[in-house]
Structure 1
Amino acid sequence: MSEAVETSYGALKVMEEGEFAGWRFWEGDPFETRSGPFFYRREDDGSYVSAFRAEDRHMNGGGSMHGGCMMTFADFALFAIATDALAGDHAVTLNLSGDFLGPIASSALVEARGEVTRGGGKTIFVRGTVTGDGKPALSFSGIIRRLSKR
């Protein structure tokens, strides 16, 4: 990994090899690292896409991705989608809700895309969709709150 941007809550890094070479990820968030790792990048149209590869450890007892895993990924995606609105500021999740639309199997490419529906101030509203191999699995919306600089 290279191109690290250090913050008080971790380091933004870029993967150098593998399936997600060139994608960014946060190193230093113990829960997120253990849950994912999750990655994001800017698309040619200026939007952001988040992704990870589903593994057996992400599945529930029924053999589909655990809903908690999908929601954890959606929480990560909130911040990726809002990258430009955040302008480098730290923020926290105020609200996250989701509607489960379908299953995700192990080995699927899991992606999240969305949009900021209202931003620019301290409160940023985001909505998006998580897919597994291109099929809708979770519709989500969230509110994040920019924190004041100390």
Structure 2
Amino acid sequence: MNAPAQSDGYGQTTLCESGEFAGWRYWEGDPFESRAGPFYMRREADGSRVAAFRTQPHHMNGGGAIHGGCLMTFADFALFAIAHDELAGDHAVTINLAGDFLGPAGTGALMEARGGGKTIFVRGLVTADGNPALSFTGIIRRIRRS
């Protein structure tokens, strides 16, 4: 059972209350991410944010490794999770996302993305069970609410 959605900076998030990602939050209302994920985020003790998901069979390509499109979709989610506080409740869109594929990940891998900086240019690293899988950079543009 999940708690009701609440405002948490950019958009509405819901607290996951059970399972592996209990205590993590996810965005509601994005049909593509809901189908591609599920993807989660949380604030770390140092104030930074981390995004994560556990790979499942529907995340794999025909060769049995995580699909590159899934990694890029997760990296796009991670852009907004990492820049969550900087967005301060404003909507934003991705205007650039680039990634370098570094290694494979199989079914059941814990995928995590962390990044740095307090700007809306984000650089991050996705790992699979601690091993580098994708480095990514992206720029998102804030759309101020009127």
Q: Which amino acid aligns with 2:132?
A: P
Q: Give % identity.
A: 67
Question: Which residue in the other structure is 2:52 paired with?
Answer: 51
Q: Larger strand proportion, structure 1 or 2?
A: 1
Q: TM-score, normalised by structure 1?
A: 0.91
Gaps of 5+ in 2: none
Structure-1 separation of matches of 2:28 and 2:106: 26
Conserved? CA contact 1:10–1:28, under 8 Å: no
DSSP-derived class of the 2:96 partner: strand
**Deviation per CA, 1:54-79, whole angstroms, max 9, x where unpaired?**
00110001110000000000000000
Residue number in structure 2 paired with 1:149: 145
Aligned length: 144
Counterpart secondary structure, 1:2: coil
Question: Aligned pair 1:74/2:75, yes or no?
Answer: yes
Are 1:133 and 2:134 matched, yes or no?
A: no
Match of 2:28 in 1: 27
Q: Which residue of 2 aligns with 1:113?
A: 114
Alpha-carbon distance in structure 2 between the residues aligned to 1:115 and 1:10: 21
Shift of 1:105: 0.6
Two-structure CA RMSD over aligned residues (Å):
1.6
Query: Displacement, 1:114?
Result: 0.6
- Normalising to structure 2: TM-score of the pair? 0.93
Output the CA distance in 2 between the equivalents of 1:29 and 1:5: 15
Q: Which runs of 5+ in 1 are unaligned?
A: none
Counterpart code for 1:25: Y
In structure 1, what residue type is equivalent to 2:143? L
Letter in 1 for 2:121: F
Partner of 1:41: 42
